[in-house]
A and B are shown apart, each in its own frame.
Chain A
Amino acid sequence: MSKKFYLDNAATTRVKKEVIDEMLKYFDEKYGNPSSQLYELGRRSKEAIDNARKIVADFINADEKEIYFTAGGSESDNWALKGVAFANFNKGKNHIITTKIEHHAVLHTCEYLEKFGVKTTYLDVDKYGMIDLEQLKEAITPETMLISIMFANNEIGTIQPIEQIGEIAKEHGVLLHVDAVQAMGAVKIDVKKQHIDLLSMSAHKLGGPKGIGGMFIRKGVKIDNLIHGGGQERGKRAGTEGVQNIVGFAKAVELASKDFDAHVKKLTSLRNKFIEGIKNNIPDVILNGHPTMRLPNNVNFSYKYVEGESILLLLDMDGISASSGSACTSGSLDPSHVLLATGLDHGTAHGSIRFTIGEETTEEDISFVVQTMKGIVERLRMMSPIKNDEDLYKK
């Protein structure tokens, strides 16, 4: 089989070998229910969870009592928003501030909460995907209960100034929820220093298994439960713990923390070569996201006059996996809400491709992909009736 180039690491990552090895023990060897404390097998599972909780807590400078395991980033986002909203009902607070570029797990939850009288302010972003701190300050009212802003954007990779946002939230006595699903393992997270009250996490973006994530809830934060039932997770999140997933998550976090700086440095260097390669070899491209305040693995460009799905299909023929902000790949009518929020016109947004590199990506891979992209874009542009900006922007 010819070589495969997996460059969609923001979608998910390969589960690391060490993670799988750790997880396997909890299927047939240490399979006890952690709630069964009266016998050895159950206690071993409980210990494994406690240990995992400590590892995840240390990674974000939290206390282990502030970590709750969930089924993933989407559940954590849902819990943060619904949990805070429901805890504040009838208490005079019904306002949430978020941004136009959040993940759908946040945006669709806000839309849902609006049916119950919650009011949402969606902050704008500039052409790099950055929020305006002044606009944030102005949006805060006495009714504001929560600010929910992602640490780093999944599509364009822009990293928000979370520490400054945290200071603003603290100053105004408003809770701050941060979706850190993409930032985990790529950006230093310190919930104390960054004044974060709630943090959504996911395992499968950093070499862990799918279907497991976590939430940091600062001690003292008032939040209702999302999943009701048994007393697991200290009564805050019901359901028998997915022990094997939890230990897998913790192992992935442990590995990520071990060589954090070297990993980020390596990826950043590769990313910059990738960006330069595209810019220098393909005309009429636009880099989406911030030039420097961006995730070390994210390379997102719009290729004018061509459409994203066609690019992906041709990339796939060469064994290259990527993703697109085009509507054609999402099943929706509009291209990516994130790209539109940065001010891209629809036509240009349809021609965007996101590559997200990973641990296994090499410099040779990048050279190959850049050359392949050059050929694909040339080929599709030959076929396109849009030849210039005039064709593209005309009504």
Chain B
Amino acid sequence: MYTEAVMDHFRNPRNVGSMENADGVGQVGNPKCGDIMKIYLKINDETIEDVKFETFGCGSAIASSSMATELIKGKSINEAVELTNKAVVEALGGLPPVKVHCSVLAEQAVKSALFDYAQKTGKVIKGLENYEPIDDDDIHCH
């Protein structure tokens, strides 16, 4: 059902945990749908120095979060904001069609954390000018 890469990131998730004094925190999803992702960013000089994640969800949700953190770690915030769900899926060697929403959630979690950072610091991140945090009440599962 899952690729080797998905199973690897599920079994040995990278960057798992929470972070004190994070510069940006983003949480997306809700328990109703069965997946929640929370991403913590440590940003220094516009670079993502450290990233952590916490996820409630299925194997592909955990693997997608883990992969997303790997893809943005050490990158500039401008590079990180360009992370797409497609990149996450490709890096994982593919996801079953019903699980693609997990990668979408991972992309949204990263954007949400970057937006939080932008809000806190008053910085403008290219690509997030019109970002609107998703209202949980509007979420329809997948």
Contact = CB atoms under 8 A, between A and B. Distances in A.
Interface of A: 305-310, 313, 317, 326-329, 331, 333-335, 345-347, 350, 382-386, 391-393, 395
Interface in B32-53: 32-38
Given A327-B141, A347-B31, A386 B59 contact: no
Q: What is the interface residue range for chain B against chain A?
A: 20 to 34
Q: Is the interface of B mostly helix, strand, loop or mixed?
A: mixed
A384 B56 contact: yes
Nearest to A331: B98
Interface of B: 7, 10-11, 13, 16-17, 27, 30-38, 54-59, 61-62, 98, 136-137, 141-142
Contacts, number: 74
B31 A383 contact: no
B28 to A, nearest CB: 10
21 contacts: A305-B56, A306-B56, A307-B34, A307-B56, A307-B57, A309-B58, A326-B34, A327-B141, A328-B58, A333-B33, A333-B141, A335-B34, A346-B34, A347-B30, A347-B32, A382-B16, A383-B54, A383-B62, A384-B36, A384-B54, A386-B56
Given A327-B141, A334-B141, A310 B58 contact: yes
A385 B31 contact: no
Contacts of B141: 327, 333-334
B3 to A, nearest CB: 13
Leading 10 A-B pairs by shortest Cβ distance: A347-B31, A309-B58, A328-B58, A385-B54, A385-B38, A346-B32, A350-B34, A384-B56, A313-B59, A333-B141
A383 B13 contact: yes
A333 B35 CA distance: 12
Contacts of B62: 310, 383
A313 B17 CA distance: 20
A379 B117 CA distance: 29
A384 B31 CA distance: 11
Contacts of A326: 34, 58
